[in-house]
Amino acid sequence: MANRPQAGYEVAPWELRWGWLDLDALRRTESTFALSNGHIGFRGSFEEGEPRGLPGTYLNGFYERRPLPYAEAGYGDPVDGQSLVNVTDGKIIRLLVEDEPVDMRYGSAPHHERVLDFRSGTLRRNTEWISPTGRHVRITSERLVSFTQRAIAAIHYEVEPLDGQAQLVVQSELLANEPIERESDDPRVAAVLEGALVSDFSMGEGSRAVLGHHTRRSGLRMAVAMDHEVDAPAGVSTENWTEGDLARLTIAAEVPQGRKLALTKYLAYGWSSQRSPQALRAQVEAALAGVRQSGWQGLLDEQRAYLDEFWDAADVEIDGDAELQQAVRFALFHVLQAGARGESRAIPAKGLTGPGYDGHAFWDSETFVLPVLTYTVPDAAREALRWRHSTLDKARTRAAQLGQAGAAFAWRTINGDECSGYWPAGTAAFHINADVADATARYLAATDDKDFEAECGLELLVDAARLWTSLGHHDAHGRFRIDGVTGPDEYTAIVDNNTYTNLMAQKNLREAASRCEQSPDLAREFGVDEEETAYWRDAADRMVVPFDETVGVHPQSESFTQHAPWDFASTPPEHYPMLLHYPYFELYRKQVIKQADLVLAMWLRGDAFTPEQKARNVAYYEALTVRDSSLSAGVQAVLNAEVGHLELAYDYFAEAALADLYDIHHNVAQGLHIASLAGAWIAAVAGFGGMRDHDGKLTFAPRLPPELSSIDIRVCFHDSRICVTIQRDEATYELRRGNDVHTSHHGQPITLTQDKPITLPIPPPPQNPAPRQPAGRAPAHRRPSPVPGQELRPIGLVPEQ
């Protein structure tokens, strides 16, 4: 075998290939090789069930309630937590070769390869295994979670004896209540989640079986059905066995050398909080009947067609760094998987790739994932917003509980109820409400979707706007302040006038006012009158935007720039992430930043800053930001690109895109960092493409980092598709589909038509002194090897020597 690349994956433009049998890496590769359509999630575990890292099969929104223990509870603290349940595992296909179970811990594997293919949307495996007694077989499998048939997953599995005839026994299973490790070490939580599923029914007949279960506390029901097509030499015997938590189809065959035992396993999943076990059973059986009509090849064809369309709309092509090209497509593929078919469900921070963060969704979805989906798969963005809207009643109840008007959306949740047990880095992060409004406004501007505006969009804007009117107040000078809130940076909490929050609230108030003024009848349905919109406008106009005249920068929040500086020189590398090594009170009262906050404001509200302010702010905040959150690098790439630090922006781009492949945060085993992966697109499109969408207008200001020869980005806007090719000295805009688009290139208005592409020169970048990062926290300086995939420099939080 060739030398193993540093991250372990072989570099290829359209796939993630792992050619090693490394059982220690199982947990992390189960995450990177996860398949999902946003509704069903399968971690990338081996078919034979063991060895395994952290097995996981998830249904979006299917959770168990669990205790949320406090040492000292306070008023308004949520009492219930929610945890994503590891549901019935349908991936399992065990294999015995002449009585010996195939288990990669034993015997040897002269060849073992797994490939996640971004165009076919499948995970392939090709293993040659020699049993401890010397029997030699080849196992190939291909599995998918269907983008086109939302309830369906399928596995095509083949075994071939390589050293003469062999008796093969295959056991295809549905297995509920697999014992797994939990993130929480609280025994009360573990007790609730162990054996979370209670059997409702089990049925097996012929090649089919169905299992139904419910959760003990959250009252949710699920069902999963399997069916099989078997292709084997004559003399096959099959046996179907089911009991509460297990359904097993056993297939035994004598298979001569040169022949194969082939099996296609179809799986249909469904869950509901309302439907009866009988109705759920009927639902999954119907889905199975549908997929049996399509067949395996039909499923493959549909999957490919869906992805061809996706890549046509969304691809980012990079010339000059093969590994980064792979990483960006990996990132886009997983962002798609997280959101494609969620359909009125949340997009969790880990997608459906692992149990991290208990499967909760945060602001990650609106601020990081939805910008990507809005400009690539707008329907998926709409559905995620529809989910947020479905939680509006809970958000209103929460706001009322907190003595506030409007809605207070949950900081972390599965079903819309607040699950954050730590106020300062939880509910106090009220900016999530402005983030929801921002994502709504962006979606409406990018699609002009009037139906969504009437059904959900306007109401989201209105209820979020109302929150600010009660959370903020006019001070003695008539200025509108928002006090006692936490901004995106969780190392600074409960502050007055967090600049990000205020600017995003300002935008929310203005958007709500102007959309209500445009649709007065609709606005009246929500009880909005002219007096209310006038108040919103006034609050927005008088919003406090702190500025420190002495230092010449925007403080992240009032008085932030007066806090004591953190002593980075004396902070050893092993003390990161800092939240695990320092008390919060110390982090809170010093100048140290976990993740982009003011810098994020300069992207999303870039219209509120001058170019000079941006350059000074970037320099100031670069020196304080430690990136203990994976949400930071992509955003830092955007602003560094804008102020002319293109090499640094490229390093951050690489960090965002490669974070999970290199496991730089050391927790990819618990699931992928979907917002960081979205950050890779954000770095490419908003960073090097310079794309902005202030006031609903799409503009570009492209610039290439010195290391690359070109970047092609694609975006969807109002049913049109645009491609921008960024080269060293010029950029070319092409309208690939749809109506003319009015945009601009570095401030110069242009109209894109289908007649011919427009090529324009790129002005030289602004010259600003290179910023510095806290000691030891600079991103790895990325220098790709001239030979793709070889001698790559380590990526991670390593300073340049």
The answer to whether residue 419 forms part of the interface with ligand BGC (CB under 6 A) is no
Minimum distance, C-beta of residue 384 to ligand BGC, in the bound complex (Å): 15
In 81-197, alpha helices (H)? 187-193
Under DSSP, is residue 537 helix (H, G, I), strand (E, B) or coil?
helix
Residues 551-590: x/- map of binding to ligand BGC (CB under 6 A)?
----------------------------------------
Q: Is 375 helix (H, G, I), strand (E, B) or coil?
A: coil
Residue 206, H or E segment = none
According to CB under 6 A, which residues from 657 to 716 bind ligand BGC? 675
3-state secondary structure of 192: helix
Q: Which is nearer to ligand BGC, 248 or 350 (CB)?
A: 350
Q: Which is nearer to ligand BGC, 383 or 490 (CB)?
A: 490
Burial 347-375 (b: 16+ CB within 10 A, else e): bbbbbbbbbbbbbbbbbbbbbbbbbbbbb
Q: Is 490 a catalytic residue?
A: yes
Confirm if 607 and 592 have CB atoms less than 8 A apart. Answer: no
CB of 365 or CB of 561, closer to ligand BGC: 365
Q: Which helix (H) or strand (E) holds 516?
A: helix 499-518
Nearest to 592 by CA among 620, 574, 565: 565
Identity of the residue, 357 or 603, whose beta carbon is nearer to ligand BGC in the bound complex: 357
> Helix, strand, or coil here: 364?
helix
Q: Which ranges of 429-498 does DSSP label H, i.e. alpha helix?
A: 431-447, 450-452, 458-471
Residue 286 has, within 13 A of its CA and on its CB side, a CA count of 8
495 binds ligand BGC (CB under 6 A): no
Number of residues that bind ligand BGC (CB under 6 A): 12
* Ramachandran sector of residue 744 (left: φ over 0; alpha: ψ -120 to 50; beta: rest): beta
User: What's CA 555's distance to the chain center, in Å?
Assistant: 30
130 strand-pairing partners: 108, 136
Backbone angles phi, psi at 174, to 5 degrees: -115, 125
- The pair phi, psi for residue 82, each rounded to 5°, is -140, 140
Contact 451, 472 (CB under 8 A): no
CB of 547 to ligand BGC, least distance (A): 25
Residues 345-374 that bind ligand BGC (CB under 6 A): 349, 357, 362-364
Q: Which residue has the tokens 């790559």?
A: 792
Phi, psi of 19 (to 5 degrees): -110, 30
**What six digits make up the tokens of 652?**
């951050």
Which segments of 115-220 does DSSP mark as H helices, in order?
A: 187-193
Q: With contact defined as beta carbons under 8 Å apart, do 702 and 688 qualify?
A: yes
We find the least distance from the C-beta atom of residue 686 to ligand BGC, in angstroms, to be 18
The DSSP bridge partners found for residue 760 are 731
Q: Rank residues 677 and 713 by Cβ distance to ligand BGC and give the closer one.
A: 677
Number of H helices, E strands in the chain: 20, 30
Which is it for strands 221-231 and 261-272: parallel, antiparallel or unpaired? antiparallel
Q: Which is nearer to ligand BGC, 675 or 778 (CB)?
A: 675
Measuring CA to CA, which residue among 391, 392, 376 is closest to residue 339? 376
For ligand BGC, the closer of residues 324 and 596 by Cβ is 596
Q: What is the CA radius of gyration of the chain?
A: 27
| Minimum distance of ligand BGC from residue 492's CB (angstroms) | 11
Nearer to ligand BGC, 349 or 656 (CB): 349
CA distance 505 to 518: 20
Handedness of CA 475, 479, 482, 483 (dihedral sign): negative
* CA dihedral of residues 90, 96, 99, 105 (deg, nearest 10): -100
Q: Segment 767-786, which members bind ligand BGC (CB under 6 A)? A: none
Cα three-residue angle 712-717-719, rounded to 5 degrees: 115
The bridge status of strand 93-97 relative to strand 100-101 is antiparallel
Within 72-131, which residues bind ligand BGC (CB under 6 A)? none
Convert residues 316-345 into a mask of x (bound to ligand BGC by CB under 6 A) and - (unbound). ------------------------------
Residue 490 binds ligand BGC, judged by CB under 6 A: yes
Looking at the Cβ atoms of 466 and 777, the one nearer to ligand BGC is 777
User: 610 is written with which tokens?
Assistant: 């001058």
Minimum Å gap between C-beta 154 and ligand BGC is 31
Element spanning 527, H or E? none
Q: Closer to ligand BGC at the Cβ: 15 or 366?
A: 366
- CA 76/CA 89 separation, integer angstroms: 37
Binding track over 245-284 against ligand BGC, x by CB under 6 A: ----------------------------------------
Of 588, 691, 705, residue with least CA distance to 646: 705
Residue nearest ligand BGC, CB atom distance: 362
Binding mask of the shown chain, residues 620 to 649, with x at each position contacting ligand BGC by CB under 6 A:
---------x-x------------------
**Distance separating alpha carbons of residues 218 and 216, to the nearest angstrom:** 6
Beta carbon nearer to ligand BGC, 409 or 452? 409
Q: 47, 418, 490, 532: which one is catalytic?
A: 490
C-beta of 349: minimal distance to ligand BGC in Å? 4
Tokens read off for 745: 């290139």
Instruction: Show the 3-state SS of 710-754.
Output: EEEEEEEECCEEEEEEECCCEEEEEEEECCCEEEEECCEEEEECC
The least CB distance from residue 256 to ligand BGC, in Å, is 53
- Judged by CB under 6 A, which of 595, 640, 670, 743 binds ligand BGC? 595
Which 3-state string (H, E, C) describes 664-709?
CCCCHHHCCCHHHHHHHHHHHHHHHCCCECHHHCCEECCCCCCCCC
Residue 497 vs 670, nearer CB to ligand BGC: 670
Nearest to ligand BGC of 370, 722 (CB atom): 370
Residues with a known catalytic role: 490
Footprint of ligand BGC (CB under 6 A)? 349, 357, 362-364, 488, 490, 594-595, 629, 631, 675
